[in-house]
Amino acid sequence: MAGSRDLVLILDFGGQYTQLIARRVREQHVFCEVIRFDTPADAIEARHPKALILSGGPASVYADHAPVCDASIFKLGTPVLGICYGMQVMVRALGGSVAHSPAGEYGKTPASLDTSATLFSSIPPQISCWMSHGDRVEDLPEGFRISARTATCPAAAMENSAQKLFGVQFHPEVVHTPQGTGILRRFLFDISGCVGDWTMSDFATDSALAVRTQVGSARAICALSGGVDSSVAAALVHQAIGDRLTCVFVDTGLMRAGEGDFVERAFHGRFTMPLVRVDAGERFLTALCGVTDPEAKRKTIGRTFIECFRQEALAMENVRFLVQGTLYPDVIESGSPVASTIKSHHNVGGLPADLPFTLIEPLRLLFKDEVRELGRTLGLPDDLVDRQPFPGPGLGVRILGAVTAEKVRILQTADAIVERHMRLAGWYGRVWQSFAVLPGNRTVGVKGDERTYAYTIALRVVESSDGMTADWARLPFDLLETIAHAITSEVAEVNRVVYDITSKPPSTIEWE
């Protein structure tokens, strides 16, 4: 996808910040990809990368079965930057030693840099950096020098500038290392010779050409949800093949209030692509009748969706391709052999075997913020591009317990109130997600001097950069009061609103 532009490859050892490294490199307009840690050196060399970065990881390099890379990569002449575990892998591969540290380092840590070192020549000598390690380098490989140290880590960074091999024990990719971006820029541009000429317009052009070549004269179909990912994927493929793309919007009845009409307005008003709307609300409610287990609900909703989509897709002629809005975090999480698995992703390798289509995933190399940027590049409206994420199973996983038509109506109304007041207060675009949850419990209350026994609504508002971790949003008290008052006033079946102040981890963003 990078074409003739610069390419940086990140070898993934399962570190929690691997995606963040890729984001930081992309922010410098340098295209990068995350690849397996054990990718052979000859396969790496064949792609002609300008630089390699070795990520962090949860293992100890001296442990049995610890992930290691092909040591030949250090002989390619390609600049290499090892980060945390990646630095320790480099040390072991080149003849140095790593051992358990008598004092681990976690969190913000002062570090002293040798500014005569190649990597740090433009960085202040004293910095604060983010550490997260229990092991440390004991003996450097031949030809290396120490370039940074902390109070408990004598080799907080190292380098062999002649061979363009560098290592840092800290994490320059996180915001808690304020000079981290400068260090990465030094490695990318001054050491590795990157130009920084990759843009989203380039990506759109390259992707459209690739799709056009792949599809040829055939037709494609896209499962359009109205969310950012599927909408941008549809717009990109439409740019490539025009009205030979048909979008199918399965209205599950578990969507936001008025979602079906919103999708039709957004796409019929701006594109000439055929759009098929399937009103399947009753079908989904029937399938969910009596289903209360969260995982069972997800599977039931997914299975019913596939049935509806299959019925429409197989009725079309000359359709050979299926468009999905798979994103890069999904690919990385599902493909890493060493990272801890939090959840599987339905849109990674999730093509039903009995659908005779070839998969097209035009966004599989992009992060969420890049997808939004691409959407703007393609001319999609802000009210669509800036929409907050919405779960694939819809409100089915925001209604705890059994899903009924009444509960769906209550939650849709409450959720619309949340969105309305978040927008009015200018908070909608400042948070990752803001939504209502229907826990299903009833509590005693008073309305109009009468006793009530009505539902509770839980309000969930979180801040995040990618959804991998999240912190609850510190909304102003007057805004919380306004939302609570509006919900209890406008939704007769609700007499109580509570605010979820749990972060991820230990909780997840969604309740089910």
| 14 lies in the same domain as 97 | yes
The whole-angstrom separation of Cα 17 and Cα 7 is 20
Strands (E), 253-318: 275-279
Domain with 495, as residue range(s), is 398-499
- Domain count for the chain, please give it: 3
**Strand locations in 75-199 (E):** 80-83, 97-113, 126-139, 145-149, 157-160, 165-168
Which tens digits make up the pLDDT trace of 413-459?
999 999 999 999 999 999 999 999 999 899 999 887 788 899 999 99
What is the strand order of the sheet 31-36 is part of?
A: 31-36, 7-12, 51-54, 80-83, 165-168, 157-160, 145-149, 97-113, 126-139
**312, 414: one domain:** no
Q: Measured between alpha carbons, how far is residue 489 from residues 443, 447, 483, 492 in Å?
A: 16, 9, 10, 7
Q: Residues 36-89: pLDDT tens digits?
A: 999 999 999 999 999 999 999 988 989 888 999 999 999 999 999 999 999 999
Asked if residue 216 and residue 172 are part of one domain, the reply reads no
Degrees to nearest 5, angle at CA 325 with 287 and 276 = 60
pTM to 2 decimal places:
0.75
Q: Tell me which residues are annotated as active site.
A: 84, 171, 173
Domain at 463, CATH number: 3.30.300.10
Both 97 and 187 in a single domain? yes
Same structural domain, 177 and 153: yes
Question: What CA–CA distance (Å, rounded) separates 324 from 333?
Answer: 17
Averaged pLDDT, 10-17: 89
Select from 385, 413, 440 the last residue of a domain. Answer: 385
Whether 510 is covered by a domain: the verdict is no
- Asked whether residue 154 falls in the same domain as residue 22, the answer is yes
**Strand pairing category for 319-323 and 219-223:** parallel
Residue 165 in any domain: the answer is yes
> Are residue 412 and residue 349 in the same domain, yes or no?
no
User: What CATH code is carried by the domain that includes residue 79?
Assistant: 3.40.50.880
Sole residue written with tokens 């059994």 = 402
Share of the chain above pLDDT 90, in %: 64
- Whether residue 363 sits in one domain with residue 308: yes
| Domain stops at, among 354, 385, 416 | 385
With cut-offs at 50, 70 and 90, classify the pLDDT of residue 266. confident
Residue 208 and residue 165 share a domain: no
Last residue in a domain, options 146, 174, 191: 191
349: pLDDT confidence band, cut at 50, 70 and 90? very low
